[in-house]
Amino acid sequence: MTSARRIMIVEDSPTVRYQVKLMLEKLNIILVEAANEVGMFNLMEEYGVRVDLIIMDLTLKNENGLDLIKKLRDSENYMDIPVLILTEHADMNSVLKARELGVSGYLRKPIQKDELVDRIQGILQPE
């Protein structure tokens, strides 16, 4: 990746956020972290943070990732931001619903670095 890309991870686990940060630290990526929906929208709306990709856990504490993706897709400002979902359980119904909402892909936890980097590059630099 040539110019720095900004990616937001929306994940309630500080451990997973830290792991993703370590996986991406040598790439030309600025990682912005949010633990939940409120944090994500605060960063984007109140602080004007613009991102090229959102990596989101489908099972956020007290929140439904599918509902959050729908809010993004219903928003004129955020509808075009690609979303890569993370899921601990391969609940294919949720993955299919997420696909219907226009997500760019999904990864199962535990996340593998090579797979994460490949997915990000495929989304940000399509052939």
Q: What string of DSSP letters covers 81-117?
A: S-EEEEESS--HHHHHHHHHTT--EEEESSPPHHHHH
pLDDT (tens digit per residue) in 51-88 = 999 999 998 988 889 999 999 999 999 999 999 999 88
| pTM of the predicted model as reported, rounded to 2 decimal places | 0.93
Rg (CA), the chain: 13
Q: Is residue 73 within a helix (H) or strand (E), and if so which, with residue range? A: helix 65-74
34: closest CA among 50, 14, 15?
A: 14
Q: Which domains does the chain have, with CATH numbers?
A: 5-124 (3.40.50.2300)
Q: Which residue has the higher pLDDT, 2 or 98?
A: 98
pLDDT (tens digit per residue) in 16-52 = 999 999 999 989 899 999 999 999 999 999 999 999 9
